[in-house]
């Protein structure tokens, strides 16, 4: 239980947290803005990683590969969106169907369950090898932080446009959106594509960082993402009112999640139990607003007040 071990592990935890932060931002878009729990992400994260690694192994530039990974992620979102809007399948089930299908697709992309990439032979954008003793601009923490800032700026701009406002209205009140001439089906598909595009990008960064793409790398991604969203909102919700800052808050929430995870591992907890802990923690945090409303709600009309009668 040497505290130095924990401190040594921190930069890695922060870098991983940042990379997952992009996934978390994607999940925020569907979960909070569109009001859809999109389970596609468990598959699309791996799709992004698989596409990126395979493209790089076949000699493509790292940025081109990451762009392809993002587009692949968007396609997975499109599929879920069409399941939901065109075929009328409930959103949760649509995501589960895509996720299941992606297991096969991801295997076919990679040809096997795991594809490694050698950091010495390929010019990776991020790698855990660069976490220490490199110039700051090669450090994954710096690189991914810049990525997140750029993404947040783009998203901030987008959700201020007519199209972005239509998307927000769709998630907030579908009846109102349609009454104002918004094609809510289109909005939902677009939102799912955006979200999974971000998740694909996150998968591309993650696979480079860890040096391989693995068929199981996206397992539980939705829970990790939700945890980041919830932690971000719980801690920064009161100070970050602006939409852009909220997204930053979600990324910071993801970092905190990985710091806590690293600490738990350092404390010597059986790592087999980590996913169980994650699920329980997320379940409790999701329940808090419900419990608040049910057991601690203030009565709307106070008793005995003629002014309220």
Partner 1 sequence: MLEIKNVTKIFNPGTVNEKLALDNFSLTLEDGDFVTVIGGNGAGKSTMMNAIAGVWPVDAGKIIIDGVDVTKLPEHKRAKYLGRVFQDPMTGTAATMGIEENLALAKRRGHGRTLRAGISRKEREEYRELLKILDLGLEDRLTSKVGLLSGGQRQALTLLMATLQKPKLLLLDEHTAALDPKTAAKVLETTEFIVQRDQLTTLMITHNMRDAIAHGNRLIMLNEGRIILDIRGEEKKKLTVEDLLHKFEAASGEEFASDKAILG
CB nearer partner 1, residue 181 or residue 299: 181
Cβ 253 vs Cβ 231: under 8 Å? yes
Site string for partner 1, 184-203 (x = CB under 8 A): x-------------------
CB nearer partner 1, residue 58 or residue 175: 175
CB nearer partner 1, residue 146 or residue 237: 237
Which residues, 6 or more positions from 137, have their beta carbon under 8 angstroms from its beta carbon? 143
**∠ Cα 50 23 137 (to 5°):** 80
Of 160, 276, 287, 288, the one binding partner 1 (CB under 8 A) is 160
Question: For the chain, first and last CA: distance in Å?
Answer: 63
Site string for partner 1, 54-83 (x = CB under 8 A): ------------------------------
CB nearer partner 1, residue 142 or residue 186: 186
For 253-270, letters b (16+ CB in 10 Å) and e give bbbbbbbbbbebebeeee
Site string for partner 1, 164-183 (x = CB under 8 A): xxx-xx--xx-xxxxxxxxx
Least Å distance, CB 157 to partner 1, is 9
Alpha carbon distance 71, 197 (integer Å) = 6
Locate 144 and state its tokens: 């991914």
Locate 13 and state its tokens: 């935890």
Of 161, 216, 271, 308, the one binding partner 1 (CB under 8 A) is 161
Least Å distance, CB 244 to partner 1, is 15
Locate 18 and state its tokens: 């940042």
Residues that bind partner 1 (CB under 8 A): 158, 160-166, 168-169, 172-173, 175-184
């Amino acid at each position: 239980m040497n505290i130095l071990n924990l401190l040594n592990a921190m930069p890695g935890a922060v870098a991983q947290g940042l990379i997952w932060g992009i996934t978390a931002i994607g999940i925020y878009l569907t979960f909070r803005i569109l009001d859809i729990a999109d389970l596609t992400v468990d598959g699309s994260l791996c799709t992004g990683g698989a596409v990126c690694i395979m493209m790089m192994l076949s000699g493509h530039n790292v940025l081109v590969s990451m762009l392809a990974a993002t587009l692949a992620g968007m396609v997975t979102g499109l599929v879920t969106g069409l399941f939901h809007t065109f075929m009328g399948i409930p959103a949760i089930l649509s995501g589960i169907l895509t996720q299941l299908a992606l297991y096969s697709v991801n295997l076919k992309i990679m040809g096997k369950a795991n594809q490694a990439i050698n950091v010495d032979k390929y010019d990776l954008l991020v790698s855990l090898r660069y976490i220490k003793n490199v110039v700051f601009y090669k450090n994954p923490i710096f690189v991914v932080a810049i990525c997140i800032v750029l993404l947040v700026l783009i998203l901030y701009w987008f959700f201020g446009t007519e199209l972005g406002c239509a998307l927000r209205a769709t998630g907030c009140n579908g009846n109102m959106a349609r009454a104002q001439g918004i094609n809510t089906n289109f909005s939902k598909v677009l939102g799912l594509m955006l979200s999974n595009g971000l998740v694909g990008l996150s998968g591309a960064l993650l696979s480079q960082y860890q040096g391989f793409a693995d068929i199981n790398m996206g397992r539980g991604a939705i829970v990790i993402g939700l945890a980041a969203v919830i932690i971000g909102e719980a801690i920064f919700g009161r100070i970050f009112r602006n939409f852009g800052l909220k997204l930053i808050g979600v990324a910071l929430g993801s970092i905190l999640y990985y710091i806590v995870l690293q600490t738990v591992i350092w404390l010597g907890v059986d790592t087999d139990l980590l996913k169980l802990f994650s699920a329980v923690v997320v379940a409790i945090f999701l329940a808090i607003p419900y419990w608040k409303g049910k057991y601690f709600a203030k009565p709307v009309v106070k008793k005995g007040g003629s002014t309220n009668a």
